[in-house]
Amino acid sequence: MRKLSAIMLAGAMAMSLAACGGSQTTETSAAVDTTAAETTTAADTAAADTTAAETTAAQEAPADLSGSISMVGSTSMEKFANSLSEAFMEKYPDVTVTAEFVGSGAGVEAVNSGTADIGNASRNLTDEEKANGVVENIVAIDGIAVVVDTANAVEDLTKEQLAQIYSGEVTNWSAVGGSDSPIVVIGREAGSGTRSAFEELLELEDLCKYSNELDSTGAVMAKVAATPGAIGYVSLDVLDDTVKAVKVEGAEPTEENIKAGSYILSRPFVMATKGEISEQSELVQALFDYIYSPEGEELVKSVGLIAVEQ
């Protein structure tokens, strides 16, 4: 009853005001309504802007991550793994990433047994490894170019010919379609990731017969360029016109051919996990998110590797 009486009283007052004020009251009410609407719209807009700003800030702000991640495995992935660890720890100061380089097989075994979060392998996983629940997460592709001096007439080598040259079985270019001149075999020093990759791909680990073992990609490039009859191998990203890159099995050493699988001197860099990435800890998932982000892709390229598409 009290509510009904209040409503009736309000109605009577409104009618009285309308009779006394006429059109002036109507105009005033309209003005009040317009002002209120404008005020409401401005408030809504300001609130929306604030919410958007807060959302953007939240998206840009780094997650509150802390703890440690352990990686074990491939020696060929040392440069990449160290660069990744440093960049990720710089982004997340409360996170520690450790990497141990003991070989691909040992890395896969470590992650399979639970003694490491990630097993680094510079090769595809075997069917047996996958059957044990180890997941192959390809994070980059490594490409190696075979180079000769620009005067060399040889344009293409088979994998077998390349292995014969580096094992010392073939010592003259005439045996592989070139001129009658000795082959000068140039390579990297023991412990080089590029050397390890090259020898693994040719199945010549510790069997190569080098004329010169040099300690940098630049040194290999310079030596091959200046030495008639020389042959060497370098990372794909450093090629220039001071040397000539030869085809291998008919394929040129290009990023496109590597991605297509037609250039054989390439291999995946795998960061293996026990189970899918989505099943890993928050820290490990964050590390993979970083690797597959634009920032991570730039890091992959900065160490001479080819980023994989997601």
Q: Is the pLDDT of residue 17 over 50?
A: no
Mutual angle of helices 2-21 and 23-60, in 10-degree steps = 120
How confident is the model over 171-187, as a mean pLDDT? 97
Are 220 and 232 in contact by the 8 Å Cβ rule? The answer is yes
Mutual angle of helices 282-291 and 78-91, in 10-degree steps = 110
Look up the pTM and report it: 0.65
Mutual angle of helices 78-91 and 294-302, in 10-degree steps = 140
Per-residue pLDDT tens over the stretch 235-286: 887 889 999 999 999 999 988 898 888 999 998 899 999 999 999 999 999 9
| CATH number given to 67-141+266-307 | 3.40.190.10
Per-residue pLDDT tens over the stretch 112-164: 999 999 999 988 898 999 999 999 999 999 889 999 999 999 999 999 999 99
Rounded CA-CA distance 121/107 in Å is 7
pLDDT at 63: 56
pLDDT at 7: 38
Rounded CA-CA distance 258/141 in Å is 8
Please give the distance of CA 139 from its chain centroid, rounded to a whole number.
Answer: 5
> In the chain, where does the domain assigned CATH 3.40.190.10 lie?
67-141+266-307, 143-260
pLDDT at 53: 42
What is the rounded end-to-end Cα distance, in angstroms, of the chain?
Answer: 69
Strand spans (E) along the chain: 67-73, 95-101, 118-121, 134-135, 138-148, 156-157, 184-188, 212-214, 230-235, 244-245, 247-248, 266-274, 306-307
Rounded CA-CA distance 5/151 in Å is 107
Q: What fold, for 143-260?
A: D-Maltodextrin-Binding Protein; domain 2 (3.40.190)
pLDDT at 5: 39
